[in-house]
Amino acid sequence: MKDIIILGIESSCDDTSAAVLKNGVLLSNVTASQDVHRAYGGVVPELASRAHQQNIVPVVDQALKRAGVKPEDLSAIAVTLGPGLMGSLLVGVSFAKGMATSLGIPLIEANHLQGHILALFLKEEGTDTPVPPLPYLCLLVSGGNSQIVKVDAYNKMEILGQTIDDAAGEAIDKCSKVMGLGYPGGPIIDRLARQGNAEAFKFSKPHIPGLDYSFSGLKTSFLYFLRDRLKEDPDFIEHHKADLAASLEKTVVDILMDKLAKAVRRTGIKDVAVAGGVSANTGLRNAFAQKAERSGWHTYIPKFGYTTDNAAMIAITGYYKYLDRDFCPIDKPAYSRVTI
């Protein structure tokens, strides 16, 4: 049988990434991140699209070279069509369309959120990572999303609950910015939290019915708390950095886990995965391990490198769609907003 070789391309936000997958096994995954946004404390869309323009050719070239694959060997090109920043998406989508057309091979549409969820199914040569059985629940937590998704099949997913305002990662990033810690705040808060007391401070938790999340109240409560304490001690943040980080992280993890536990009780599904950038968080990973030990959940966490934005997850999405001959018309436009 002919090999199925997929090139995946991801450019939805501030990472330009390309990956090559052969018969479902990852051969390469190359990502160029954009440091330019650090100075602004958040992604600047115009700068992101400019950087994608500079990075896309060398990143795709490197991914093919590392995989030992020539463009003519490719079976199809999978690209993130959305959701994301339009100027960023257009770089990857236009490149993928041009390349697929010139090679005469199919283009495959990948949804960024679906990609995060399917990252769990990535296989590397010589490794045997357990994959969840279907159906399973997936907590998708990133800078732009906080959702509980029931995954019935790679192309059949149902959102059971989602944030009604900010995403978990966004809330962490904003609180970190208020503390003057830099961007992105997630990894910095994680590092600091390891040295702090998670019970030192209490921040408000939302009372939202059902399985939906809300993180904007936490952000405001954190801001007001700091404002009041800074009046008493101008160096409050400096003196309590680690405790603030640990207490903030614990509040976010508690909020995420409470609703996830509710979803497990409602559906009776105990196979539970986590995906998206925030799944790199140590506190969240520990909470998952505890649930596995105490409540009998079977938990699945993608490899560290595939938690944040990457093209490997786009390539695996493309692989499953290729098997179904689920191709994308060449004139389908990128989209900035959509759910799974």
- Minimum gap (Å) between residue 14 Cβ and ligand KG4: 8
Q: Build a one-symbol-per-residue string for 132-171: x at contacts with ligand KG4 by CB under 6 A, - elsewhere.
A: ----------xxx------------------------x--
69's CB contacts (< 8 A; 6+ apart) are 5, 7, 20, 22, 27
Pick out residues in 5-24 that bind ligand KG4 (CB under 6 A). 13
Q: Build a one-symbol-per-residue string for 33-72: x at contacts with ligand KG4 by CB under 6 A, - elsewhere.
A: ----------------------------------------
Eight-state DSSP code of residue 70: -
The β-bridge partners of 138 are: 149, 273
Q: Considering the complex, state which of residue 101 and residue 290 has its C-beta at the smaller distance from ligand KG4.
A: 290
Eight-state DSSP code of residue 280: G
Q: Considering the complex, state which of residue 7 and residue 193 has its C-beta at the smaller distance from ligand KG4.
A: 193
Pick out residues in 90-109 that bind ligand KG4 (CB under 6 A). none
Binding-site member from 67, 172, 274, 315 for ligand KG4 (CB under 6 A): 172
Q: Which stretch binds ligand KG4 (CB under 6 A): 101-109, 194-202, 274-282, 328-336?
A: 274-282
Cα separation, 82 vs 109, whole angstroms: 9
CA distances from 188 to 82, 214, 263, 298 (A): 28, 22, 30, 29
Total of chain residues touching ligand KG4, rule CB under 6 A: 19
- Minimum gap (Å) between residue 140 Cβ and ligand KG4: 9
Structure tokens at 121: 């199914």
Q: Considering the complex, state which of residue 327 and residue 335 has its C-beta at the smaller distance from ligand KG4.
A: 335
Decide if 340 contacts 46 (C-beta within 8 A): no
- If one asks whether residue 196 binds ligand KG4 (CB under 6 A), the answer comes out as no
Binding-site member from 276, 314, 315, 318 for ligand KG4 (CB under 6 A): 276
112's CB contacts (< 8 A; 6+ apart) are 10, 12, 80, 82, 83, 84, 309, 314
Alpha carbon 336 to its chain centroid, in Å, reads 16
Q: Considering the complex, state which of residue 206 and residue 277 has its C-beta at the smaller distance from ligand KG4.
A: 277
- If one asks whether residue 217 binds ligand KG4 (CB under 6 A), the answer comes out as no
Scored b (16 or more CB within 10 A) or e, 114-146 reads: bbbbbbbbbeeeeeeeeebeeebbbbbbbbbbb
Cα separation, 180 vs 281, whole angstroms: 20
Q: Considering the complex, state which of residue 247 and residue 281 has its C-beta at the smaller distance from ligand KG4.
A: 281
34's CB contacts (< 8 A; 6+ apart) are 14, 15, 16, 43, 47, 48, 51
Binding-site member from 281, 317, 319, 328 for ligand KG4 (CB under 6 A): 281
Interface residues toward ligand KG4, by CB under 6 A: 13, 142-144, 169, 172-173, 184-187, 190, 276-278, 280-281, 308-309
